[in-house]
């Protein structure tokens, strides 16, 4: 099917259905624009009566056209679509761009037309872009069906759920200069082709260096993630996802469920799939431009070459804020720089030329050559006023400065290292600046947007390596003991597992679960006490009717000795009865008290958009107040799990505070991967919530575990 | 002294010392630029030999000039300065702009010249700008001594420690259009005039609507804060403070001390003083521009008027991210909008005109009139493609759209409410867009920078009200009991107070301090036990040699009954001896165990730049790992203290979690104000650290308190 999109975007022959001699009509404007831009393919106006439109022979139907047609631009109203698509199919046209509104967005009547239209498209094998789109363009094919003026061809491919956002990107690019676009598609209602398919197309399109997506909502989030993971192995994908205010969509009967929704989840999953997520629309273009112009760096160590003043200081601030590492120059590099620069220069990172380039800008390229050759440098930023030496000091320097721009671009290419230039003269678009841009160097007015690009580039490089080398882990199938454990839950029509059942299932998949006992009468306690000894135990009610055990008075902690256990047993039952006198009380779970450690939560929910998702966070207040949690789609790799653990804000707690030893991260990751396998093997389990898991230097205890069957699993 | 700056920036007569006929010299360029710009004042070239320079009569000394001189631009080398300033003083010139480098920044020899120069300036009553500055300008006086080209006059006054940063602001303004500058000063080495004085000047300068400061470091931070508090009552002050990486400058023998330094502290104190702190340099201009163009809003409720597409969605995202409130339109407003717009329009906030302005842009002004008249709206944002209707739909709409721009600006003025326009056509600077800008409306390409301005505007309005109505609280003087408590500390030459001394001093200022006992022998315990009963107590070593009591094994908690107290006493002494066998052990402090609650820290340090500073944070991991703390300079108001409590990220914990009641915030604020009065009454106490204070619904316990005398206090 993607071949269809390839043919559509690279159409050599276009039928304009609803072509018109009226210049206010889209069917006229499109033809005018195609001809004005020098579109080299054939244009076939389709009109029920006219013999000729805008000097081109017109036909009543695409079926009357001789020769192949790659694309139909349909400018006629919604109700005409089913018949038109049938004709397109008979003609073998692979795709139609449908401008008309009046489909599902207008209610029941429109929904009927939409259904008929989709059915026709599917039946006749025509891919449908839109409807309710403002069109597409492919500037490398001189095919602009949107009519936006003065757009430069370039490497960024736009896929947008808003035509105005594309317009904003295009006007910003015109003002910046040196950045252009390959193709655009306004996805409209996505009646047929969806975002994942567009992404795959942009991934395969050689003219597109960076697909840039503006997304308001995913129809099939999982397919998008899968495609994104593949495409980002070839090129960066930049996404702005709108909708910070979307209400939680997951029915929340667990802690994980109540937290796992919204933008933080979407962002985490897109990043897991290798995407670059920008959270401010005004960063979309500069990040996409930066990524399109720079090679993927081997590491993240940044060197700064400054010609004095505040910009070096600001750049260091911005790098520190972004958590980017400053490169340490080798002694050899420092020595080479000393040979090039005046005595007052700083020849360590950040390098400050101290006026050493004012009289001869080419010295900047000499310095850049020395720095780029340093194996300890992955990325070079030139900051200050490069590009303005001729303008500021001496017009006679202009040729020198233009030559230097060429040299700088060549050096970056030769070393295969990203080079970024920040210059106060970027706003004035001086010739040395424009030379840099034409040679493919990203140029910025202020340091922060450049640093943002560096941060995203480093993250992209890391994600690409991670996804290339660490495969998501899939289960072999349900564990042997699963049926025995699930059986009673299903047989009794329960949604919630008893805690000991949940733990048993975890154990069946290899999690470390400690010995615990279900006491169904006070007399059972003698046996339990004999087994557990006098150490303190935790006792918890087991009841299908009591989900929140503490709230029902159904929990006693640090109970020591048989007598105390008996008293606690009676107390728990009494409290539970008082809480709900009709509750079915199954017994009391007795387990040794967990040793103290760091409390964390490991959970899984099924997101309606993205499918199974794991959440990790510190327990208690961190989750409740700070929402300091991380997410990954399942299946995931061990590397994903390690990143989940590292990326929470309070991760330092896991390394041990106040002399405490670090927790056993490998054991934690083992547990997370176990839970992931369990969740994938049992899609019928809608929610898993291990809360808390208590982490220690020598392992973990699962202090409480909850699992809930989804409606289809009961 | 500020009068001097007023005369300097509004000079009607300038002496150029070191004037030259050589066009590469600053003494030539400055005169050329003054004449090119049509500077209306007198220009007096000063040259040792020449009779005429650039066609102007030259003199050997300013003393030879007839008539008053307001400003000397000194282009001669450092060593000439003392003599030149003497002459300037004799001539009655109030100020000199000194370009020369070669002062303190080059070492001992330069420092000598600097000292002689400053001495001459002070002796002869000449204020000195620089040295090592690239100059000043006042565009409203057509006086540009920097030589930067094509700068538009406007409302932003720049004060910068970097000439290149000014250059960046000026080139960005040229590209944006519609934003200009009043004055600029490059502060250079600040040998004489300092940042606080420049701020006061900009505060008094009627041409400056918003002073914009780029600061690398403060010489007298406290004076700057005081001035900032005054100036921000009249106009916003925008500051970028560089230096995120500055190492902690406070000797840290307390928790507060180790946290109270760096950018977070500086930002908090500047904001307390009413300043608008931007933490990214690329935001400086747009924030300053936005604040310069908008009135101070009465509240923070924002209405959005959108013409479709993604920008309304993105704007809501950005407002939500920034914590800005969306206005709720009245029913009357909604009804008025329904009368103006097509049926498909959304007439609640965000308002979407649904094409209702495409054919007649003036409808946008009708809608804006309805929204601005709504008492529930404080700020209006127009988003989408306003300014592009003529360009996009029909050139015949141009006059209508330009008229509409005038109407919109007039409506905002009439209602006294901020109006911001985001438009994809802003980048193209269409005539309706330029009309808006000329009429003083802030226009943005993307929503986020507009929302940033709104956020800063709301914060500025709040800070201004707070500082106008809530005076900082100063102590009446030391408490009567102070001398008795401080006496032994000083007499024994101790830096650290004993815990009970610190608590006694807190009690003397009115803090609630619970009864506790110093046991100096085991026998004392009988009396203590009789007094405290069998309830559990905390016991802690009291020793001038043991600062970290827990580390020395000098703490026992939950000790109950006299026998246990005796054992604990002996154990504490043994542990302390084992820790440091030469330690002077003063006794053991016995106190009832604090009841459980929320642990917080209240501390005070003396910042070398800003003086006494209070820190507040949650205890334990929140401070240690997340550095979730807030700062204010002392003296502060109760409103400041309330904001300190509210602004920590985990503030929700104070409201009570899981059914717990909220803590007593008024009691906490009482305690903070008490500590503030104590700290101000005793500047000799360098550090105060109440850690932890345990907050409950009915008050607090100060569980531990530490105070350290500074060197001058011992």
Pairing of strands A325-326, A301-306: parallel
Nearest CA in chain A to B188: A309
3-state secondary structure of B652: helix
* Contact assignment for A317 to B244 by CB distance below 8 Å: yes
Residue in A386, A445, A423 with CA at minimum distance from that of residue B172: A445
Positive or negative: CA dihedral A443, A444, A450, A453: negative
Q: Do A653 and B625 touch (CB under 8 A)?
A: yes
Entry field: residues in chain B: 714
Cα of B526 vs its chain's centroid, Å? 55
Q: Delineate the domains of chain B, giving CATH numbers in brackets.
A: 1-134 (3.40.50.720), 301-469 (3.40.50.261), 515-592 (3.30.1490.20), 598-713 (3.30.470.20)
- CB pair distance less than 8 Å for A428 and B214: no
Of A164, A311, A653, the CB nearest to B311: A164
Distance, in Å, from the CA atom of B296 to the CA atom of B215, rounded to the nearest integer, reads 25
Q: DSSP label at A104?
A: G
At B245, is the pLDDT very low, low, confident or very high (cuts 50, 70, 90)? low
Minimum Cα–Cα distance from A655: chain B residue: B625
Q: Determine whether the interchain pair B167/A424 forms a contact, defined as Cβ–Cβ distance below 8 Å.
A: yes
Interface test with A, best of B168, B215, B358, B396 (most A CBs within 10 A): B168
Q: Within its chain, how far is the Cα of A317 from the centroid?
A: 27
**pLDDT at residue B223 is higher than 80:** yes
Read off the DSSP letter of residue A692. E
- Write the residue in B216, B624, B652 that is nearest to A657 by C-beta: B624
Å between A528 CA and nearest CA of chain B: 31
The per-residue pLDDT for B249 is: 36
Nearest to A625 among B309, B447, B652 (CB): B652
Q: In Å, what is the CA distance from A489 to each residue of A209, A485, A492, A710, B552? A: 52, 7, 5, 12, 54
HEC string for B42-63: EEEEECCCCCEECCEECECCHH
CA distance B533 to chain A (A): 26
Q: CA of A509, closest CA in chain B: separation in Å?
A: 33
* CA atoms within 13 Å, Cβ hemisphere of B569: 25
> Using the beta-carbon criterion (under 8 Å), do A320 and B245 form an inter-chain contact?
yes
Determine the pLDDT at residue B660. 84
Task: Measure the CA–CA gap between B413 and B441, rounded to whole angstroms.
Answer: 10
Distance from the A685 Cα atom to the nearest Cα atom in chain B, whole angstroms: 27
Residue B601 β-bridge partners? B617
Which residue of chain A comes nearest to B306, CA vs CA? Answer: A164
Interval B471-524: pLDDT, tens: 999 998 888 899 999 999 999 999 999 999 999 999 999 999 998 999 999 889
| Contact list, A445 vs chain B (CB under 8 Å) | 168, 171-172, 175, 282
Q: Which residues of A touch B25 (CB under 8 A)?
A: none
**pLDDT at residue A458 in the model:** 98
Contacts with A281 from chain B: Cβ below 8 Å: 310, 314, 318, 446-448
Q: What is the phi/psi pair of residue A405, to 5°?
A: -60, -45
B124–chain A nearest CA distance, Å: 32
So what's the pLDDT on residue A547?
79
Q: Identify the sign of the CA torsion B8, B13, B19, B23.
A: positive
> What was the ipTM of the complex prediction?
0.92
Set of chain B residues whose Cβ sits within 8 Å of the Cβ of A163: 309
pLDDT tens by residue, B325-351: 999 999 999 999 999 999 989 999 999
Strand partners, B156: B181, B210
What angle in degrees, to the nearest 10, is found between the helix axes of B195-204 and B2-9? Answer: 70
- Cβ contact (<8 Å) for B317 and A242? yes
Inter-chain CB proximity B281 and A448 less than 8 Å: yes
- Chain B residue closest to A386 (CA)? B164
Cβ distance A171 to B427 less than 8 Å, yes or no, reads: yes
Q: Is the preceding peptide bond at B692 cis, omega within 30 degrees of 0? A: yes
Q: Which of B540, B587, B578 is nearest to B559 (CA)?
A: B540
Sign of the dihedral through C-alpha A517, A519, A520, A524: positive
- Give the CA distances from residue A665 to residues A495, A646, A672, A702, B624, in Å, rounded to whole numbers and listed in that order: 32, 10, 10, 15, 21
Whether B447 sits inside 8 A of A281 (CB atoms) is yes
Interface test with B, best of A134, A163, A164 (most B CBs within 10 A): A164
For an interface test with A, which of B346, B625, B628 has the most A Cβ atoms less than 10 Å from its Cβ?
B625
Q: How confident is the model at residue B251 (pLDDT cuts 50, 70, 90)?
A: very low
**Residues 6 or more apart from A115 whose CB is under 8 A from it?**
none
Residue A252 has what pLDDT?
40
Å between A274 CA and nearest CA of chain B: 23
Q: Compare CB distances from B309 to A162, A309, A653 and report the shortest one's residue.
A: A162
- SS3 for B177? coil
pTM higher than 0.90: yes
Asked if residue A224 lies in contact with residue A572, where contact means CB atoms within 8 angstroms, the answer is no
For residue B108, what pLDDT is reported? 86
**The predicted structure's pLDDT at residue B648:** 94
Q: Distances in Å between the alpha carbon of B315 and those of A176, A287, A479, B405, B678? A: 23, 20, 49, 21, 47
Phi, psi of B401 (to 5 degrees): -70, -35
Confidence at residue B532, expressed as pLDDT on a 0 to 100 scale: 84
In chain A, residues with a C-beta closer than 8 Å to the C-beta of B448 are: 280-282
Interface probe for A, chosen from B158, B308, B427, B452 (most Cβ of A below 10 Å), is: B427
CA A98, chain centre distance (Å): 29
Best probe of the A interface among B169, B617, B621, by most A CBs < 10 A, is B621
Locate all alpha helices (DSSP H) within B497-552, ordered by sequence.
499-508, 524-532
From the number of C-beta atoms within 10 Å of its C-beta (0-12, 13-18, 19+), residue B174 rates as: middle
Q: Which of A320, A384, A449 has its CB closest to that of B164?
A: A384
Q: How far apart are the first and last CA of chain A?
A: 38
CA-based nearest distance B79→chain A, Å: 20
From B579's Cα to the closest Cα of chain A, the distance in A is 17
The 10s digit of each residue's pLDDT in B606-665 is 998 999 999 999 987 777 788 889 999 999 999 999 999 999 998 999 998 777 899 999
Residue A247: how many other CB atoms lie within 10 Å: 6
Contact B244 A321 (CB under 8 A): yes
pLDDT bin (cut points 50, 70, 90) of residue B2 is very low
Please report the pLDDT score of residue A130 as a whole number.
Answer: 94
Is B314–A165 a contact, with Cβ atoms under 8 angstroms apart?
Answer: yes
Residue B107 CB burial class (10 angstroms; 0-12, 13-18, ≥19): exposed
* Ranges under pLDDT 50 in chain A: 1-2, 247-253
Helix (H) or strand (E) holding A401: helix A398-415
- For B173, name the nearest residue in chain A, comparing CA atoms only: A427
What percent of chain B has a predicted confidence (pLDDT) above 90? 81
**Interchain proximity A626–B175, CB inside 8 Å:** no
Give the Cα-Cα-Cα angle B654, B660, B663 (nearest 5 degrees).
35
CA–CA separation, B277 and B279 (whole Å): 6
pLDDT in tens, A609-641: 999 999 999 987 777 788 889 999 999 999 999
State both tokens at A2. 């993607």
Tokens of B78: 């450092």
Most A CBs within 10 A among B22, B246, B313, hence the mutation to make, goes to B313
**Closest approach of A623 to chain B, Cα-based (Å):** 11
Collapse the DSSP code of A150 into the 3-class scheme (helix H, G, I; strand E, B; otherwise coil) and give the result: coil
């Amino acid at each position: 099917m993607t071949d269809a999109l390839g043919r559509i975007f690279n159409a050599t022959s276009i039928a304009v259905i609803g072509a018109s001699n009226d210049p206010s009509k889209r069917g006229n404007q499109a033809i005018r624009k195609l001809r004005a831009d020098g579109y080299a393919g054939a244009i076939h106006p389709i009109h029920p009566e006219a013999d000729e439109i805008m000097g081109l022979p017109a036909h009543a139907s695409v079926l009357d056209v001789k020769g192949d047609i790659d694309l139909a631009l349909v400018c006629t109203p919604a109700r005409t679509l089913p018949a038109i698509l049938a004709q397109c199919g008979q003609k073998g046209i692979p795709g139609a761009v449908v401008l008309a509104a009046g489909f599902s967005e207008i209610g029941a009547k429109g929904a009927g037309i939409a259904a008929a239209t989709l059915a026709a498209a599917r039946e006749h094998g025509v891919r449908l872009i839109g409807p309710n789109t403002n069109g597409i363009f492919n500037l490398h094919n001189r095919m602009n069906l949107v009519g936006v003026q003065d757009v430069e061809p370039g490497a960024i491919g736009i896929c947008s759920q808003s035509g105005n956002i594309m317009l904003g990107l295009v006007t910003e690019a015109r003002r910046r200069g040196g950045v252009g676009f390959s193709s655009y598609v306004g996805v409209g209602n996505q009646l047929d082709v969806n975002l994942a398919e567009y992404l795959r197309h942009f991934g395969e399109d050689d003219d597109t260096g960076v697909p840039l997506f503006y997304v308001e909502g995913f129809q099939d989030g999982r397919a998008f993630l899968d495609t994104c993971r593949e495409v980002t192995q070839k090129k960066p994908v930049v996404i702005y996802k709108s909708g910070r205010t979307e209400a939680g969509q997951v029915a929340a009967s667990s802690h994980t469920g109540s937290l796992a929704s919204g933008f933080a989840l979407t962002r985490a999953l897109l990043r897991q799939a290798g995407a670059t997520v920008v959270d401010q629309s005004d960063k979309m273009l500069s990040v996409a431009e930066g990524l399109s112009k720079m090679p993927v760096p081997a590491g993240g160590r940044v060197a700064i070459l400054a010609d004095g003043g505040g910009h070096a200081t600001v750049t260091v601030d911005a790098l520190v804020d972004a958590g980017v590492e400053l490169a340490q120059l080798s002694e050899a590099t420092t020595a080479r720089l000393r040979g090039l620069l005046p005595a007052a220069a700083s020849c360590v990172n950040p390098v400050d030329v101290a006026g050493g380039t004012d009289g001869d800008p080419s010295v900047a390229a000499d310095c850049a050559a020395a720095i780029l050759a340093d194996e300890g440098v992955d990325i070079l930023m030139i900051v200050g006023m490069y590009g303005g030496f001729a303008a500021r000091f001496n017009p006679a320097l202009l040729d020198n400065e233009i030559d230097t721009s060429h040299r700088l671009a060549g050096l970056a290419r030769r070393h295969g290292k990203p080079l970024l230039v920040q210059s106060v003269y970027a706003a004035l678009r001086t010739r040395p600046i424009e030379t840099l841009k034409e040679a493919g160097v990203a140029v910025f007015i202020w340091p922060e947007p450049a640093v943002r690009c560096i941060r995203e580039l480093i993250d992209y490089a890391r994600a690409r390596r991670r996804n290339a080398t660490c495969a998501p882990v899939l289960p072999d199938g349900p564990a042997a003991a699963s049926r025995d454990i699930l059986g009673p839950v299903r047989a009794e029509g329960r949604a919630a597992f008893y805690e000991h059942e949940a733990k048993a299932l975890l154990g069946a998949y290899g999690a470390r679960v400690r010995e615990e006992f279900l006491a169904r009468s006070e007399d059972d306690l003698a046996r339990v006490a004999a087994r557990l000894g006098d150490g303190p135990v935790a006792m918890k009610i087991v009841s299908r009717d009591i989900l929140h055990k503490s709230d029902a008075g159904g929990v006693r902690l640090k109970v020591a000795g048989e007598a105390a256990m008996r008293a606690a047993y009676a107390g728990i039952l009494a409290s539970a009865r008082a809480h709900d006198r009709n509750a079915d009380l199954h017994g009391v779970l007795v387990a040794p008290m967990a040793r103290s450690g760091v409390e964390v939560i490991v959970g899984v929910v099924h997101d309606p958009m993205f499918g199974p998702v794991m959440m990790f966070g510190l327990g208690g207040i961190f989750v409740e107040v700070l929402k300091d949690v991380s997410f990954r789609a399942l299946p995931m790799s061990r590397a994903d799990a390690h990143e989940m653990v590292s990326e929470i804000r309070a991760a330092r707690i896991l390394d041990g505070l106040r002399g405490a030893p670090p927790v056993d991260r490998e054991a934690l990751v083992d547990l997370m991967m176990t839970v992931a396998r369990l969740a994938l093997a049992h899609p019928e389990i809608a929610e898993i919530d291990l809360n808390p898991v208590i982490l220690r230097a020598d392992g973990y205890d699962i202090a409480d575990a909850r699992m809930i069957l989804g409606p289809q699993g009961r």
